Amino acid sequence: MTGLLGGFTVPLLGVSIFIATLTYITYKLLSSYLHKWFEMKPIPEVEGTYLFIGNALQFKPNAGDFFRQIVDYTCEFRNAPLLKLWVGPVPFVVLYHAETVEAILTNPVHMEKAYLYNFLHPWLGTGLLTSTGPKWRQRRKMLTPTFHFSILTDFLEVMNEQADILVEKLEKQAGKGQFNCFSHITLCALDIICETAMGKKIYAQSNSDSEYVKSVYKMTDIISRRQRKPWFWPDFVYTCFGEGQEHDKTLKILHSFTNKVIHERAEYISNIESDSESDQGTRKRRAFLDMLLKTTDEDGNMMNHRDIQEEVDTFMFRGHDTTAASMNWVLHLVGSHPEAHSKVQQELQDVFGTSDRPVNTEDLKKLKYLECVIKEALRLFPSVPFFARSIGEDCHINGFKVPKGASAIIITYALHRDPRYFPEPDEFRPERFMPENSVGRPPYAYIPFSAGLRNCIGQRFALMEEKVILASVLRNFNVQACQKREELRPVGELILRPENGIWIKLEKRKP
């Protein structure tokens, strides 16, 4: 009998250890959750917040309705310094005032991205957008030189070439009634980022059915849906009952494409004896990828293939969708405001006259009103409508205690509509960004490219691209918007897009 029972000793011991471990983990998680729940109780919250569930069941399933819901919360609590939302067991403090946003973004303790960014890791790894701590600091230091202005000016040629292709495509629409320009602008931006980031032409403007193009949009939609549904956050549940298989299939397409390009470019560079001269003696056009393949850290170590892929995938994602969205919003706003439209075209006339020459660096400096138009469009419709940080230590925000482990979500869309700094905030007024009208405005009242330590490394690239493309379009066409503001229905997912596109009419300008 003893021998028989002895045979059960090891399995029973294992089960006991498993149960004890599970009980301990459950206790720790539950006590941590309840601790945050009671510590954050004084922070203003929306009605219908329940223990364990939080506000998850209140959220609208449609992406556009969900975004409008969050914006409505910030309007309802406009006079409160912040508000609180629980997404399942995860607490968020929602920030939409310059002073509370500054407190978070200027503190290096809160530099880590929030939990929701984990769903980007399979695609983007832990590159510059998603990494944290020493890796982020090292990577930022390594990559900053690749965004030097002298290097960015090399990309002007690509931007002008793709702008010419866009104008040719738009000429076919001129004088033929209204059309949705969103995909035209987006494909142009995608061609630019592919050639400047990877040194590869993908001819997206000519081939909008590209598998890679479709996969980029599909992946952003898949990730956004998962972020809104906490019951799909566990990988096992997502794989078995969610879109896990579709996610993995799309991911394979994206990574296969960039993998192939990196290998091809590395082989190409190894066959080029000089950085500046090709075999034929003509100037070789550089790409970000070329620089990444030669970048070393402080110890002289080269970036490995995985490091490079993380950054290339990040550039591809953040480098085209954001600029494309911004340019589309500009065309709607300019097409809706004849006075601003005339001012932009007058500035273009002053700089270019009747010539059709490409845009150069000196032109970019002179397009001051166009820059104000772009900035005002980014105020009203920031390409990244919200972003989130993890609270790295217990802190106080405007007198309210926020515990370590909570997340702060900054609603850029609402922040930019603070009437203290932008009177009549829903009005389109590019003059707000004239130097004399910007005096005294807090730096954290307007952050379309984030701010502080983790501000966008590519913002100069983005502004340069937007100026080149918009200047090319407005030199050739008069634009008329075909939608009222309320018809746009902005959808705030990873990028702020109009739900039904941007519909305009074009008229060819006379030489």
The answer on whether 188 is annotated among ligand-binding residues is no
Fold for domain 40-508?
Cytochrome p450 (1.10.630)
Looking at residue 357, its pLDDT comes to 95
- Amino acid identity for residue 233 in this structure: W
The residue ranking higher by pLDDT, 281 or 177, is 177
Residue 6's pLDDT is 52
What the block records as the tokens of 44 is: 């203003």
| Alpha-carbon distances, residue 140 vs 125, 130, 193, 249, 318 (angstroms) | 15, 12, 19, 31, 15
pTM (predicted TM-score): 0.89
More confident residue, 37 or 23: 37
- Tell me what percent of the residues of the chain surpass a pLDDT of 90: 51
Q: What is the pLDDT of residue 14?
A: 67
Burial of 422 (0-12, 13-18, 19+ CB in 10 A): buried
Using the predicted structure, report yes or no on whether residue 4 has a pLDDT greater than 60.
Answer: no
- Whether 405 shows a pLDDT value over 60: the answer reads yes
The mean pLDDT of the chain is 87
Does residue 247 have a pLDDT over 80?
yes
pLDDT band at 297 (very low <50, low <70, confident <90, very high): low
CB environment 208-230: b (16+ within 10 A), e (fewer): eebebbebbbbbbebbbbbbbbb
pLDDT digit string (tens) for 180-223? 999 899 999 989 998 888 888 888 888 777 788 788 888 988 99
Q: If DSSP codes are grouped into helix, strand and coil, which group holds residue 409?
A: strand
DSSP class of residue 360 equals: -
Q: What is the 3-state secondary structure (H, E, C) of 254-295?
A: HHHHHHHHHHHHHHHHHCCCCCCECCCCCECCCCHHHHHCCC
What pLDDT, on the 0 to 100 scale, is given for residue 89?
78
Dist. CA 323–CA 326, nearest whole Å: 5
281 pLDDT tier (thresholds 50, 70, 90):
very low
What's the pLDDT at 278? 47
For 122, left (φ over 0), alpha (ψ -120 to 50), or beta?
Answer: alpha
- Tokens found for residue 435: 């130097």
Element (H, E) at 482: none
Most confident of 125-139, 426-440, 487-501: 426-440
More confident residue, 294 or 68: 68
Look at residue 25 in the predicted model and tell me its pLDDT: 63
Residue 279: per-residue pLDDT: 46
Neighbours of 39 (CB within 10 A): 16
Taking 70 as the threshold, does the pLDDT of residue 2 lie above it?
A: no
Tens of pLDDT along 81-127? Answer: 999 988 877 889 999 999 999 999 999 999 888 888 899 999 999 88
Q: What is the pLDDT of residues 258-276, one digit of tens each?
A: 888 888 888 877 776 444 4
Mean pLDDT confidence for 155-172? 95
- Work out the average pLDDT over 27-45: 78
Cβ(382)–Cβ(412) below 8 Å: yes
Render pLDDT for 307-351 as a digit per residue (tens, 0 to 9).
Answer: 889 988 888 888 888 999 999 999 999 999 999 999 999 999 999
